[in-house]
Amino acid sequence: MEKLSERIEAVLYFLEQCKQDYKWHESQYVAEENRENELRHEIEGVGVKFRTPPLHKDRSKLATELQEALIARRISKDLIAIYKPMLDFVDSEIGKSAINQLKQKLGEVRKLETNNNNRVFNKRKTENDVPETEETKVSKANLDRMIRDWKRKSKSKY
């Protein structure tokens, strides 16, 4: 059975992961944008490799690289837009407060779960414990016999 603390941890992990994913996709977007600009300069003939406009064969390779950079940039841009609402929530005052409260409640839940796991139940002895005598043994046997008979009769009716 999954513990409540594990579920709370999953929520906190999810919120933190959204923030990290947003930042990663943002850095990927910037990297692909820089790559796109470099490739455009190369096609123009003002880049590092080509000081004059490249020939057809090189231009085709550069165009393919540019296409790949544009696709990767688009994917990053779309994912940034998807993660943005979660990042806005996590970075807002309400989000920060909610995360802090969740962390506090996680600590409380963990403490209670630990206490519950370490509990030991002992058989309670009371002042009015009835010692087992021959008479109580017979009474218990009679009660057990009556219950068996009743169960047998109720099964035969149905």
**73 in a structural domain:** yes
Specify the 3-state DSSP secondary structure of 127: coil
Mean pLDDT by 10 residues, the chain (158 residues): 91 96 97 94 82 86 94 97 96 96 95 85 70 75 86 73
- Answer for the pair 99, 90: CB distance below 8 angstroms, yes or no: yes
Say how far apart CA 88 and CA 91 lie, in whole Å: 5
**126 in a structural domain:** no
**127 in a structural domain:** no
- The pLDDT value recorded for residue 50 is 73
- The pLDDT value recorded for residue 55 is 87
Looking from the CA of 7 toward its CB, the CA atoms found within 13 Å total: 5
**31 in a structural domain:** yes
**24 in a structural domain:** yes
Number of domains in the chain: 1
- The pLDDT value recorded for residue 121 is 76
- The pLDDT value recorded for residue 11 is 96
SS3 content of the chain, % helix, strand, coil (to 5): 80, 0, 20
**140 in a structural domain:** no
Domain span holding position 89: 4-118
- Answer for the pair 25, 80: CB distance below 8 angstroms, yes or no: yes
**134 in a structural domain:** no
**109 in a structural domain:** yes
**What's phi and psi for 17, nearest 5 deg?**
-65, -35
- Answer for the pair 66, 39: CB distance below 8 angstroms, yes or no: yes
- The pLDDT value recorded for residue 130 is 64
